[in-house]
Structure 1
């Protein structure tokens, strides 16, 4: 090879490294902002209730508006990115998120604040869906696992950082500061995206005709009904919860009927019959359900059984997110070296062991017993998440990465919503009381053990699903190799 060609290749490689780092920084910041938008507002609810003279039920919509918009539209955002260009739509999402954050900060009324939060959630849906989808275009294939691990870490950072950062900023600068913070971060992410993300290829003029508007509306309505049933429906009269569940089934049925008649449906069900995608999404939902258990059960167990105050409980609860932050990138690097399928099972097995430790923990083991279970459970979750996301995105055609990334985020969000509702209900039922805050320590201990016992069962189900998929894939490979 001529020396000049070698020098040119070297220069191209030198230019490629900063581009990869810049793209990773953009995607990581996008994921951080989307997760931070959820957790940072929770700590502000008492202050906002006082500022706007709103009731507890009303002020919950500041969180729900964001979650509903993000959950119901994340799949549609991914599909739209496949059609019109992922970089182009991510830039639009960053602009929307930043402008909506500014509107939240200057909102003069409660209704306008909730509306701005919904717009912010739509921007977050775009950022969450496309942040993962663009990895396949902007990051070399051999570094996909590391990139997925980094994105998982940023999600954990946003979740962990939100309450403490929000509490500090509210006490120092007032509640509007938690939304103003997003403006410089959003502008920075926009600069990085415009500077380092690869430019979208040419799209067909008929691309917009391929967007399933009817399916999008039906799916959004169905997911909204389910999310409301799992959250607001629990505290509402029984007929409201029943109506929301019924609306979920009707909306889902209509979505399937319409999908069969659309030339370019939002979700192609044929994709779920190949490459184990349905199992990847199902296990993701199960794992998210289990992880939500730690947030639902942990604070009550630590308060009622060990009589810890809020500050100490906060420190103990921060152990899990802190471990996620440390282990996320390392998990991604291990996936790059050993492959995703094997590490999905290893991560799930580690989670099962952690859930069993928590289900057998009790006062005799002290707070250290609870922390030990979390220390085992959390790295397993990070390993599973990095491996599962890598496996999903590696097997998807380039023109479906956006909608598939949206489905991965949707499965996680639905798992979190279901975990908060279903695992919370199991905890209350096993504790034998309607008011956990007044339950006896022995009752809370039994409720905690029963809930994590259920969590361990769910992880075993996930292991069975993942193992079955791997065995089927192996048999299919042997059949192809056979003469």
Structure 2
């Protein structure tokens, strides 16, 4: 555990109170994201949003989250993780509540950016606080419970979001953030007494942060628009060049935003981050493919498809604490490798879905993927967070979140390119089922192959960790 700074006369923070506050926030963020996803068509209709603007509602949130994760992780190491966590809960809750009264698309998009910034503060500091208060022998279980909270939010969001949108209107979804956000903020304010800032006194890298922000913005917006505007490829190329420039700048700075030496001198950290990026790049597109497949090919109603799609995150929620406990008993790299293998097998199995496939085939894919992700996420995070010094915990936490969002962007870009190649810009409908299935099959085979490449990286990580 890292050394915590305690206010004189104040009792030390209990690990369970830290875990409770972090789990509440980790439930709230994906819950709101998935609930809003269900209501997007209605929101677009009421606000008069175009198709491009509707897509931006999701894109700007992911972009904001990606931009600020590393920055907030570094600020937490310098200024205090508890402080950043408190601010993050407050910013996220206020921005989410303000969306209730948004009357125009531009205001809605601005609030989504602020919401993403608040989420990045929570993500970058929350897991770092958990690692700071739990000893190594029980760290995996704690991180597994945190992962279960994430998947619980993902599972509940679509169901409750759909019910509330139908019964009361989409604006009431955002009011649901108030009670849980207020409770989390109160616990963080009154029960978290310690402060963790192992890099206090070090300067913040403003230049590196600016270059990184521009690079990520170009990547996110380019990936979102690449199907509609071929000039978006220039944005993607600019983003890749920006990342290269960022790494070059960071390698020469005494107090960088990202300690590049960690990527070269700490193989466990570097391979764990790469494994996370690969896993999310391979699996993030599955929800979209399965939703379209069930409704367009199998002819299920949206609510019926929703109940089928809940199977995967429910299994992830149940298995994540178990995966964390396994990571405490065995090498977390081994457990994560098993999870990666199960995810790859699920993707390959899904590539055989066709017009005559049974729903049992779909259910088996969903369950196998849920098992794989449940066994991968928390052990992989345990491996990454345990491989760094206390002064880098905020950075490591931000890095895991960054790898997740970058993987999602890679997956989104791959799906967009595939739809363009196989479907020629036509929408997914009953008339375009054959090219849609060819597109889905090609992507899933590539994603499955990517997962098995990740298995080799994880196996290499096992050998490195065993030395």
Per-residue deviation, residues 305-338 of structure 1 (Å, max 9, x unmatched): 3222222212211111121122222221222222
Q: Unpaired runs of 5+ in structure 2? A: 1-10
Alignment correspondent of 1:247: 238
Partner Cα distance (1:430, 1:367) in 2 = 25
Q: Contact 2:335 / 2:375 at 8 angstroms: preserved in 1?
A: yes
CA RMSD of aligned residues (A): 2.4
The alpha carbon displacement at 1:464 in A equals 0.9
Shift of the 51–431 alpha-carbon distance from structure 1 to 2, 3 Å rule, reads closer
The alpha carbon displacement at 1:403 in A equals 1.1
TM-score, normalised by the number of residues in structure 2: 0.91
Partner Cα distance (2:39, 2:353) in 1 = 33
1:63 is paired with a residue whose SS is helix
Alignment correspondent of 1:6: none
For the pair 1:436 / 2:428, whether they are aligned, the reply is yes
The alpha carbon displacement at 1:365 in A equals 4.4
Partner Cα distance (1:61, 1:353) in 2 = 33
For the pair 1:448 / 2:440, whether they are aligned, the reply is yes
The alpha carbon displacement at 1:123 in A equals 0.5
Alignment correspondent of 1:65: 60
Partner Cα distance (2:226, 2:49) in 1 = 20
For the pair 1:323 / 2:308, whether they are aligned, the reply is no
Alignment correspondent of 2:254: 263
The alpha carbon displacement at 1:280 in A equals 0.9
Partner Cα distance (1:400, 1:45) in 2 = 38
Q: Using the TM superposition, name which of 103-112 and 212-221 deviates more.
A: 103-112
For the pair 1:228 / 2:221, whether they are aligned, the reply is yes
Partner Cα distance (1:268, 1:205) in 2 = 16
TM-score, normalised by the number of residues in structure 1: 0.88
Partner Cα distance (2:14, 2:58) in 1 = 36
Alignment correspondent of 1:75: 70
Q: Describe how 1:96-245 pairs up with structure 2 within 5 A.
A: 96-200=91-195, 206-207=201-202, 210-235=203-228, 237-239=229-231, 241-245=232-236
Residues paired across the two proteins, number: 456
1:130 is paired with a residue whose SS is helix
Alignment correspondent of 2:85: 90
Give the structure with the larger helix fraction: 1
Alignment correspondent of 1:38: 33
Partner Cα distance (2:51, 2:427) in 1 = 17
Q: Using the TM superposition, name which of 122-131 and 352-361 deviates more.
A: 352-361
Alignment correspondent of 1:394: 386
Q: Contact 2:129 / 2:196 at 8 angstroms: preserved in 1?
A: no
The alpha carbon displacement at 1:216 in A equals 0.8
Q: Contact 2:317 / 2:374 at 8 angstroms: preserved in 1?
A: no
Q: Contact 1:144 / 1:390 at 8 angstroms: preserved in 2?
A: yes
Question: Larger radius of gyration, structure 1 or 2?
Answer: 1
Shift of the 211–296 alpha-carbon distance from structure 1 to 2, 3 Å rule, reads same
Alignment correspondent of 1:481: none
For the pair 1:336 / 2:328, whether they are aligned, the reply is yes
